[in-house]
Structures are given as structure tokens and as C-alpha cells.
Structure 1
Amino acid sequence: MVYVEPAQQAEEQVSVARAIAAKFDASVIGVSAFAIEPDFVAEGVIIQETTTEDIRRMKAELAEKERWFREVVGLPAERVEWRWDVEYPLGFLASEARAADLVVLKSTYRKVDPYHLVDPAGAVLRMGRPTVLVPEHVRELQADRVVIGWKDTREARLAVHDALPFLKQASQVTIVEICASDEQDLARRRVRDVAKHLRGHGVKSETDVRVHMAESDAHQLVRLAKENGADLIVTGAYGHSRLGEWVFGGMTRGLLDEAPFCLMMSH
């Protein structure tokens, strides 16, 4: 499943969804939605009002988006589905995700617009599905070399399990834990256990333990992934709700801000 913004013109995350579908001989479900913005009233006077004609036009644009979506995906008609509604995008996507194994989203969220856009933090933390987050200007995902950002948590274990289809096809998988200097022995034991678990699923992997440095852990993990020629980092997604807004934790937020390639996250 991939979310398409109503006014979207760039093809990035749709192209990545297409690449994943081709890799696994899967189908693609496109999802899009908009919510009706409340009238803006100042001193008893309506300054901005959404009219019936506005809603009709917006519905027509979403219906037309299906033609664009199917053209970009380029798969046989029976392997492509389009779903849209007049509904808050995040709520609609979280509900429709029940029909998918994997959700693909843009990782950038430059403005707060819950009426047309999906906040990636809200989506990842609510959907209950592994999510591939696609940065700007990325239109392909080979996933031939994959880095796993390991942390001994529930979310990281889910992420490794959810990523197994990708890991089984990868030519190189590296499991990395970044830890305090006095935890290196324990960290080596942990990543060896993960490697052994993956070996039972037919995945050959390497392990690497790094110590916290002056640079952020996210920057260090991205740098290591670049050195390995990876185009996918697999991690758990960490976050919480704050005053009704879903927010990512520091490491997760840092990866979204810094990674020039796709992230696969589970929560």
C-alpha cells in the first residue's frame, strides 16, 4: 500500500512501491484522501468557506488521480487497486492498512496539513504494519545490501521479522548495534544472537558493534550504511503521543532527517 497526496506530482514513493511489488510479484494499493477544512470565521464573519463546488472539484481530482497512479505503477490492471475517500488522510490510511503487508510513505513532512497529508510519525506508530519511508529524489529500492540498526527492544525484533522477505533476497546484511563503551561484550552477544536467528531463515549476515561517538547515533548508522553501499536501513520505530500529536524519538527522527535512502521501520 502506498499513500498518494491529492495534489502530488512527484512519483518517488509510488515508484518505490512499484519496485517492491516487482521484486516480490505483489500487488499495489494506492490510497488517497482529503478532509473538509472547517470554515474560517473571524468576528462572526466567514472569511474562508469550503463550498459544495469545492468539494465536487476535489472529489473529481482524487478520482482523476487514479489514472495518474495506474500510469506511474505500470503493472497489469488486476495487480493495481485505488482507494480514496473524503476523510482525514491519517485515519483513512491507518484503517485501510489492514489490507496490506507493507506500507510505503514519503518520509518528508514539511508542513502540518492533516486535511491532505499523512504525518509519517502518526502513520508508523498507528498502522501496525511495517513501513518503508522514502526520502525526496529516491525512486528505486534494490535492497541488495541492507543494514539493520539493532537495539534490544520489542520494536527492533518486530522490524527484523517484518524485513525477512527483503533480508532473504539481499546479498549483504549487516547487523549493527551502537552502544556505550562498557556494553560492547553484551552488544556483541546480542547481535550474534540476531545473526544466528537470521541464519535459521537462510539469511547470511555480518555483525558490527560501534561505540557512541560525538556524532549522533543516527549519523553514525547512516555513515556506516553508505560505507557498505546499502540503500535500506531496517530499524524499530520509537515514539509516543504528545498532546495528541504522534512524534518520533531522537534516533528515529535523526534517521528520517539524515538518511538519503529508504528506511524500513516497524512499531
Structure 2
Amino acid sequence: MTCASLLVAVEDSPDSDARLELACDLSLALGAHLTGLCAGYMAPPLYDPLAGGAMLGELMAWYREAAGAEVEQARVRFRAIVEARAIAADWQGQIGDPAMVCSAAARGADLVMLGTRKARAPATGPDVADVLMACGRPVLVVPPNRLRNPVGEPALVAWNDRREARIALTLSLPLLRLASHVVLYAVDPRVEMPSTGAGLDEVVTWLERHCVAAEAVVVPPGDASTGRQILDEALTRKAGLIVAGGYGHARLREWAWAE
């Protein structure tokens, strides 16, 4: 598994700068081509049927112009950062629903990089859940104020031996090879049973065959949720990357990386 093409969502906001800086880091570390993407969201205007078609047309033109200005400002921000880092990159800017535009553009990428989910999405960028379920590619979710870097720092894999976890682990190999160490972390109530670790040992061996050094850690459920346990473990180990499977409501779909 290689990663030769990165797609990063960019907005005209300081919140996306950390994501873009990380995209540059990964582009250099992986030797991957970088593409920036911004979709200007043209919200449907409130329509007064007594106002007439001419006014509606003017409103639509104004919304389109504002969305186009947003895309252009994001492009300027993107160019300033990638050129300062001497990164070879290209740009895609469109008017449309950000999640739909991003999911379509993901066809040409090995990894999609998004910001954290926002209550105001899609107006401020692609919604993580919508892209995750539709794009058919791995998704790296980057917080606006990231503390650590996936390159050269520990990585934590949330493991439960289900289909989505196996897919996530396989597709995350390019990033796991950049980590200083990998922990295969499982929350399992059967932790005291002798057979519990057998499957994890096989996964550790599989990772070693793919040039990834890893250790297996199995813990019992605690008072907090499993998700909280995973996050706390990642913080304790100062992990720069969390790898986890992604779930849909109706059926298992794809997977996500969370930085």
C-alpha cells in the first residue's frame, strides 16, 4: 500500500492552516502529490414569492459571487503556504455542496484530509461524516490546533478485529511506517482469557512483515466509554495519529484516520 496523492480541504480560515501545514509535511514525507480543494457553498436564499423572479435572480447571483470569492480567498491562502514550503501542488475550486464536491474529487486521491466536524457544516467546509460515507477513500481528520504530528511520533490503532478495523489498518500502512512506534490497542472484557491475545499477536506479526514495529495492548473496559479510553491512551502515549474504523448507521461502510 502506497500513498502517492493527497487531497486536502482548504477554507479561507486560520482553522485550516494547521491542516494544510500537515498536508505539506505528509507530501514531503511520502513523496506524494498534493491537491488543495475548496467548494464554495451557495446557500439557497430565503424566497418571498411576492418579490418576483427578478429579485430572486439577483439574490442567486449575489450568493454565487460570494461563494466564488470564498473559493478565491482559499486558493490564495493555499498558494501562500505551499509555495513557502516549496511543495509542488495543484488546486481545485468549485461552487457546490462541499461534501459532495470533496467526495467526487477523492476519486483521484489516496488520502483525503479534512477538518473536524463543524455544527455549521456544510457552509464552512465538508462535513466529515458525509465525506467518510461517500468518498471511498481513507480520511484523515485534523483538528485546528493539533498537538502532535503523525511523522516520527507514536501511533495508536483502535482494534476490535472487525472488518472495518482490518480495512483501516491496511490502508493506514503508509502513515504507520512514518510513526516512531505503533500500539495495537484493544478494549476487551475477556482480557484475562489466555486466548485473547492470540489474534493480536497475528496482527503484530503481519505489521512487522510490512515494516511496521508494533506492540499489542489489551485492557478491560473502564468507567468511561471505549472512545474515551482510546483518546486517553493516545494522550498518555503522546500519539500523533489514531487509526480507527468508521461506522455507518445502516451498515459498515469505510474507515477514518483521526490525527
Q: Same fold (TM over 0.5)?
A: yes
Contact 2:191 2:218 in 1 (8 A): no
Deviations 1:177-226 (A, max 9, x none): 11123785444122111101111112111101111111111111111122
**Contact kept? 2:41, 2:95, Cα under 8 Å:** yes
> Residues 52-67 of structure 1: matches in 2 within 5 Å?
52-67=61-76
1:33 maps to which of 4, 20, 39: 39
Alignment partner for residue 140 of structure 2, among 132, 139, 158?
Answer: 132
Match status 1:149 vs 2:158: yes
TM-score (norm 1): 0.81
For 1:28 and 1:139, the matched residues in 2 are separated by 22
Alignment of 1:121-200 (within 5 A): 121-138=129-146, 141-143=149-151, 144-181=153-190, 184-200=193-209
CA contact (8 A) 2:67 2:95 kept: no
Amino acid at match of 2:146: V
Which residue type is aligned with residue 72 of structure 1?
Answer: I
Query: Which amino acid in structure 2 is aligned with residue 217 of structure 1?
Result: T
Question: Structure 1 unaligned runs (5+)?
Answer: 253-261
Contact 2:150-2:175 within 8 A present in 1 as well: no
Q: 1:76 to 1:136 in 2, by over 3 A?
A: closer
Question: What TM-score, normalized to structure 2?
Answer: 0.84
Asked if residue 20 in structure 1 is aligned to residue 18 in structure 2, the reply is no
Match of 2:4 in 1: none
The count of residues paired between Structure 1 and Structure 2 equals 246
Describe the superposition over 1:12-68 as per-residue Cα deviations: whole angstroms up to 9, x where unpaired.
Answer: 211121121121122211111123322313574589873424423431441242121
Q: Please identify runs of 4+ aligned residues in structure 1 that moved more than 3 A.
A: 42-49, 74-77, 181-187
Partner of 2:80 in structure 1? 71
Residue pair 1:19, 1:140 contacting (<8 A) in 2 also: no
The unaligned stretches of length 5 or more in structure 2 are 1-6
Distance 1:201 1:230 in 2: 20
Superposition RMSD on alpha carbons, in Å? 2.8
SS at match of 1:31: strand
- Greater shift, 130-139 or 41-50, is seen at 41-50
Deviation (angstroms), 1:233: 0.8
Equivalence map 1:188-227=2 (5 Å) = 188-227=197-236
